[in-house]
Amino acid sequence: MSAPSLFQRVADALFGSGPPADSEADRKLIADTIEVIVDAVEPRVRLRSGYQGKLEGCVRDTIAHLRAIGREGLDPILLTRTAWSDDPRVNAFFATADDVGSCLGRSRELRAFFDDPANREAPEAYALLGMKKDERNVLGMELQGDSVRQDVAQTAVNFSDHRIIAPASTLAAVRLEIGRRIIRRLAQDALSRIIALDMKANELQEHKAYLAARLRVLNLARDGMEGLVRDPATIGEQIDAVERELKQTVDDYIEAKASLATLDSYIKHIQEVFAHPEQHVTLAHTPLRMSRMGIKVEGSFQGLVNDLSLTELAIGPDLRGAIAIVRCPRSELPPKEDLVAKAERYL
């Protein structure tokens, strides 16, 4: 079995050419997806008889959810300095026109794409732009009629930590690459649960050893000369407390090790992630209306406004951000020398 080619087939079926046309192809997709997940999380799961049947239901749910996400329309945004003045989305995402070029120049993936001999003639690349969106309450000025009000409660919106990833020569190719990375991220979440359990078992083992040593110290104190200066009853209470904590720690350690030791536990962690894909991968479209100064505004606002639909992607418990498919012209990429000179100013 060739893992890369198998992964490629799964991603292409989900995010490339569209859903399978018949039930036989659908069954093949489910089987291939199970193998991709098992390869990524723990190949030894194949030693468990009937693992495919145990994972079929949750994988079917995930496939349906990912297909729905794959059908979401994301119109590409032209990422240029000129677009900062013309496109409300680019204006909202970047503080200045120069920040657009800086973002393009910082992307190692984008530079590698244009440096690849296979893309020597490519005038532009499609890619995924990811950003962190922050909102905070501030006090500012607001024009109401002919007067200006001071200290008005406002909500400031800021986009930061811009990243350009997954560049490709076509829109279809970049959507396919995004799909691949989503599948990998889901497998990472399942594996992270197993690693976290392993870390918990190690921590419990260390705490168990500490409590056992602490208990020996207290027993020596109770039976030794310390009784001349300390009430033996107090030492006994401490011994009882440590014994209770030690017993609970031992029980927790046994439970953690048992969960790690069985192939069924690996299957359980995979099921916990892939049976509820809507809890692990979400794509939301939120209307956003903000001034050119980055302040949320209502319909009566007087002034220039960026009116847009913001797409936010969440994958797992700790990966969340605003995203956009972007077109990156080669001509907008600043020379590497410019980046070096800019960095030297801060040294």
| Residue 110 DSSP label | H
Strand blocks (E) in 31-76: none
Place of tokens 């990429």: 333
Average pLDDT over residues 145-158: 77
Measured at the CA of 2, the angle between CA 63 and CA 4, to 5 degrees, comes to 60
8 Å CB contact between 266 and 194 = yes
What residues have CB less than 8 Å from 58, skipping those under 6 apart? 270, 271, 274, 275
Quote the CA–CA distance of 252 and 192 in Å, as a whole number.
20
Q: Which residues are registered as beta bridge partners of 109?
A: none
Supply the pLDDT for residue 145: 61
Residue with tokens 């007087």: 302
Whole-number pLDDT of residue 227: 54
| pLDDT tens digits, one per residue of 8-37 | 667 676 666 555 545 677 788 888 888 888
- Three-state secondary structure call for residue 72: coil
Only one residue has tokens 């026109």, namely 97
Residues with Cβ within 8 Å of 118's Cβ and at least 6 positions away in sequence, in order, are none
CB contact set of 201 (below 8 Å; sequence gap of 6+): 253, 256, 257, 260
- Taking the alpha carbons at both ends of the chain, their separation in whole angstroms is 51
Asked if 160 and 132 touch (Cβ cutoff 8 Å), the reply is: yes
Taking the model in full, what pTM does it have?
0.69
Angle subtended by helix axes 97-106 and 108-115, to nearest 10 = 70
Tell me which residue of 172, 181, 165 sits closest to 315, measured CA to CA. 181
Burial string for 252-280 (b: 16+ CB within 10 Å, else e) reads bbeebeebeeeeebbbebbbebbbebeeb
pLDDT single digits (tens) 82-121: 999 999 999 999 999 999 999 999 999 999 999 999 999 9
DSSP string, 186-200: HHHHHHHHHHHHHHH
CA distance 37 to 186: 9
Model confidence pLDDT, tens digit, residues 308-335? 899 998 877 777 889 999 999 999 999 8
Residue 248 φ then ψ, to 5° = -65, -40
> Which stretch of DSSP H or E encloses residue 104?
helix 97-106
Tell me the backbone φ, ψ of residue 84, rounded to 5 degrees.
-60, -30
- The pLDDT tens digits for 290-311 are 888 888 887 666 678 888 899 9
For 201-221, letters b (16+ CB in 10 Å) and e give beebeebbeebeeebeebeeb
- List, for residues 237-269, the tens digit of each pLDDT value: 788 888 888 888 777 777 666 655 577 888 888
Angle, vertex CA 253, rays to CA 252 and CA 258, nearest 5:
100
Two structure tokens written together for 207: 């705490």
> How far apart are alpha carbons 320 and 310 in whole angstroms?
13
For 64-112, the DSSP string reads HHHHHHHT-----EE--TTHHHH-HHHHHH-SSHHHHHHHHHH-HHHHH
